Amino acid sequence: MSDVPFQSAVDQSRALAAGEISSRELVELYLERIATHNPVLNAVVTLDPERARREAAEADAARAAGQDLGPLHGVPITVKDSFETAGMRTVGGRVDLKDHVPDQDAEAVRRLRSAGAVIMGKSNMPPGNQDVQADNAVFGPSSNPWDTTRTSGGSAGGGAVATASGLAAFDFGSEIGGSTRIPAHFNGLYGHKSTWRSIPLSGHVPYGPGVGWWTDADMACGGAQVRDARDLVPILRATAGTADHDAGFSYTLAPPRSTKLSDFRVAVWGEDPSCPVDSDVATAVDDAVTALRAAGAKVTIRPASLPVDIATNHRKTFLPLLFGALSYDRSGLTPAPNAALLARLLQHPRGDAGPALLGTFQSHYHWLKAHTVRNEIRQRWFEFFKDFDIVLMPVTPTAAPAHHNKLIDRFGRPYEVDGVRRPYWDQIKWNAVANVSGGPATTIPVRKGRSGLPIGLQAMGPSGGDLTTIEFAALLGREVEGFVPPPAFA
């Protein structure tokens, strides 16, 4: 039983189907581990054990009765606290929502339940999804299981910690700028950003209770963090598809372009002057290239046909689109953070505070300019992926940094790359490439760095090519370190 909490969701499903374990036993195992380890990690912030036990018993009864079962039947999971859950508190890291209990499930949550998943509780996050750590004034910070003095990453940091530490089979989350991929990289997991609009975000809390039912934030996507890349397949099959209110739009999962590493055409984009990476990340890129070449993959280092550079993607497109999308949620525009923003703007007029201020209050004309550039870049990616199947890139420039302990001064936190101070928000620049392109991206745990912390890379693919990036991640993960349980919690 000691291995069961760290099994893949697919293996757990097989064990449930074979009668080797019941859903009720699996739920009890995870509840026991949450009781033991969560006080230190602070990953799961709302828990409903009695409902989980009841739903697990119902799942076991349905299996025994020979009913049709979904692809996640009886598997215990957590859900990022940005998704509304009927009868279960949904806070979204916001003080004004600390007692909010929705009366309906978000659309993705409804689909997870329909697929048979047992939702035990909610995982920690920053207020409104707007940070690269999981910390807020309601619940406090989540800690990295590889080193509890380090951040979990964000925004889906609590879910990554829960999954890596064996507190749930997986966590279902969301992202707009690396919120699933960054925590997966920091905690040694496979994390997936789905193709934009493939998973409906109706009922996603950042817009406020009820408001998000008919509005999906620009660039925002569903995603998940798992211990085995192929767990992502049943998760996507359960959640991807047309929303009832999204008339005329359809989405189907394209088959993987290959099922052997030797057949993949891989572009490696490992460095960019606008966002330098440290030696640990560079070594991870080298390790991955070595493994790919040994497997016979066609590898091209930084092809000249790359559609965009980091600086152009970030400043001209991602930032105005991001702050335009986030501007609907004005809950954080209170006197203290506003004062901090203005102070940073005066101290560093060319820093990150300026684009944040301009983007939050931009005109529709300025948003359309960024949107036009975005569409040009997306078309160039479409052409690029005729010649390549995957772009392999860093996730962030370093392994998980120390806890930042600042919730208000978002533009004044220290962050270093090989001893050189860099802007805090460099951590999202590599991820923003896929958010602008709209395509899927899957993280792969490659190795441990000098500090013993996990180092991952991300595989980005063409829009609709989720199964391609997932299959590539699964195959490459076998050739590098892959997921390893954090020793202190194994």
pLDDT score for 1: 66
Which of 132-146, 325-339, 395-409 holds the top average pLDDT?
Answer: 132-146
* Among the ranges given (104-118, 156-170, 341-355, 361-375), the one the predictor scored with the smallest mean pLDDT: 341-355
Buried-exposed string 197-211: b where 16+ CB fall within 10 A, e elsewhere:
bbbbbbbbbbbbbee
Q: Residue 343: pLDDT band by 50, 70, 90 thresholds?
A: confident
pLDDT digits (tens, 9 = 90+) for 432-485: 999 999 999 999 999 999 999 999 999 999 999 999 999 999 999 999 999 999
By C-alpha distance, which of 221, 189, 310, 236 is closest to 71? 236
Residue 210 has pLDDT above 70, yes or no: no
Computed over every residue of the chain, the mean pLDDT equals 94
Range from 73-82, 163-172, 243-252 carrying the lowest mean pLDDT: 243-252
Rounded to whole angstroms, how far apart are CA atoms 132 and 144? 13
Question: How big is the CA angle at 431 (ends 426 and 434), to the nearest 5 degrees?
Answer: 145
For residue 336, name the pLDDT band (cuts at 50, 70, 90).
confident
Q: Residue 357: what pLDDT?
A: 82
Residues ≥6 apart with Cβ < 8 Å to 191: 160, 180, 181, 183, 184, 185, 223, 224, 225, 226, 442, 443, 456
Task: Average the pLDDT over 421-425 and give the result.
Answer: 93
Q: Is 304 a residue whose pLDDT tops 60? A: yes
Contact between 402 and 106 (Cβ < 8 Å): no
User: How does residue 292 score in pLDDT terms, banded at 50, 70 and 90?
Assistant: very high
Provide the pairing of β-strand 118-123 with 76-80: parallel
Res 246: pLDDT: 66
Distances (CA, A) of 463 to 70, 223, 242, 252, 386: 26, 15, 16, 11, 12
Q: What is the pLDDT of residue 325?
A: 86
Instruction: Answer whether residue 43 shows pLDDT above 70.
Output: yes
Residue 406: pLDDT band by 50, 70, 90 thresholds? confident
Residue 118: per-residue pLDDT: 98
% residues pLDDT > 90 (the chain): 82
Q: Is the dihedral of CA 441, 446, 449, 453 positive or negative?
A: positive
**Integer Rg of the chain from CA:** 21
Q: Are 377 and 370 in contact (CB under 8 A)?
A: no
Tell me the mean pLDDT in the region 51-66: 98
Torsion of Cα atoms, 146 then 149 then 153 then 158, to 10°:
80
4-260+482-489: CATH homologous superfamily?
Amidase signature (AS) domain (3.90.1300.10)
User: What predicted TM-score, i.e. pTM, was given to this entire model?
Assistant: 0.96
Closest CA to 172 of 97, 110, 112, 100: 112
pLDDT score, position 458: 99
- How is residue 267 written in tokens? 């572009």
DSSP state at residue 314: I
Q: What is the pLDDT of residues 166-203, one digit of tens each?
A: 999 999 999 999 999 999 999 999 999 999 999 999 89
Question: What is the pLDDT at residue 209?
Answer: 61
| Rounded Cα–Cα distance for residues 431 and 456 (Å) | 12
Query: How many Å apart are CA 143 and CA 148, to the nearest integer?
Result: 5
Rounded average pLDDT over 377-386: 98
Residue 361 scores a pLDDT above 90: no
Q: What is the pLDDT of residues 263-280, one digit of tens each?
A: 999 999 999 999 999 999
